[in-house]
Structure 1
Amino acid sequence: MKNPVLEGLSTARTSVVHLEMRDSYLPGDPEFVAWQRGKRLDPNAERSTWWRPFLDVVQEVTSRGVVMQRARIVSEPVTEYIRYEHHVSFPNIAAGELIRWLPRRLAADIPLPGTDFWMFDEESVLFTYFSGTGEVVDREWCRDHDVVAMAAVAFREVWRRATPHEDYKLT
């Protein structure tokens, strides 16, 4: 089965947005566990030590002129997982992705979808459904104009309020 995110990225023409709203994902992820044990990525080290295959796709997409934005709505003080995500964001930025962070308290009045999503060219949305522990349990494409428009408006407002990665200070 194809990876639907990679499928969306491969066909994107102008924009890709990704909204993340959970405070923890995949707590058993080996990279997160290694980070908990002290492993840190070094942006000054050889790129092969921190580059991931997914970033090749991100770099290809952004080099085509597609604007790729990721916004994370986070609780403060942040969880250990969000600290990890903040630390491992520099490779995504190096690949051309733009990342911003929004404290949950500043998002309380934004009408948001009930789950994380990817949106491609403001034409289709890929919703991701998670278990309570952060495992992906399903993904669903939606091309309904009203739903896509709602997701686009929500993301734009989150993006407008959010702090760029380089300026966001973890609390």
Structure 2
Amino acid sequence: MPLSVPSFGELLANCRRTAVHLEMRDCYATNERFEAWQRGARINWDDRASWWHAYDQLIADTVARGVVIRRARIVSEPVTEYIKWEHYVTRANTSAGEQVRWLPRRKASNLALPGNDFWAFDGALLRIHHFSGDGAVAEDEITDDPGTVKLCVSAFEAVWERATPHDDYYV
């Protein structure tokens, strides 16, 4: 296991085939964009310069090099306000080239799932996210432990197979 956690940009730069992200929380730490949405602010999707961020460009550049990026979210229903907001802003993710799917938690009961959200890069390296109780990132961990990687990648694929594509999932 590497001693330090490379940045997300470094991990994607070294990625050659696939990057997958599994999210399993119904709420993450609040942020200004979420709070603005709660107050009624909406994105002008026609004004790309107003919402396109460095993250979106990083994803677009990675997809342009041939890396397939997929994100799956397991959510409780009815969904939380946070998930409603995530669903709304996911248009930026898909515009950048991510494929996104949603799985209602009740359809995940018989899946073996890891205890934490993660990114898997080329099916060989994991960036595991550890959160505090209020949804703030406490730390990230990098591992290439074969058993842990196998569990996480197989869990992602099982979720992906059952999940609904973003454009077909309504909150």
How does the TM-score come out when normalised to structure 2? Answer: 0.95
Structure-to-structure mapping, 1:19-58, within 5 angstroms: 19-27=22-30, 29-43=31-45, 45-58=46-59
- Three-state SS of the structure 2 residue aligned to 1:99 is strand
For 1:53-132, list aligned pairs within 5 A: 53-132=54-133
Please state how far the C-alpha of 1:4 moved relative to its aligned partner: 2.7
SS at structure 2 position matched to 1:70: strand
Measured in 2, the distance between the counterparts of 1:119 and 1:7 equals 13
Whole-angstrom distance in 1 between the partners of 2:6 and 2:154 = 26
Change (3 A) 1:2 1:150: closer
CA displacement, residues 20-74 of structure 1 (integer Å, 9 cap, x when unaligned): 00001112x000000100111132x211111111111000100001000000000
Is the CA contact (8 Å cut-off) linking 2:20 and 2:120 kept in structure 1? yes
Aligned in 2, Cα 1:159/1:54: closer, same or farther, shift over 3 Å? same
Number of residue pairs the alignment of both structures matches? 168
Within 2, Cα distance between the matches of 1:156 and 1:4? 24
CA RMSD of aligned residues (A): 1.2
CA displacement 1:108-153 (0-9 Å, x = unmatched): 1110110100000001011000011110001101101111111111
Structure 2 residue aligned with 1:12: 15
Q: For residue 3 of structure 1, report the CA deviation from its aligned partner.
A: 5.7
How many angstroms apart in 1 are the aligned matches of 2:147 and 2:47? 46
Higher alpha-carbon deviation: 104-113 or 5-14: 5-14
Q: What stretches of structure 2 of length at least 5 have no aligned partner?
A: none
| 3-state SS of 2:16 partner | coil
C-alpha separation between the residues in 1 aligned to 2:13 and 2:128? 17
The residue identity in structure 1 corresponding to 2:109 is A
CA distance 1:80–1:3, change in 2 (3 Å): farther
Q: Percent identity?
A: 47
CA distance in 1 between partners of 2:9 and 2:62 (Å): 10
Is 1:148 aligned to residue 161 of structure 2? Answer: no
Unaligned runs of 5+ in 1: none
Divergent runs of 4+, >6 A: none
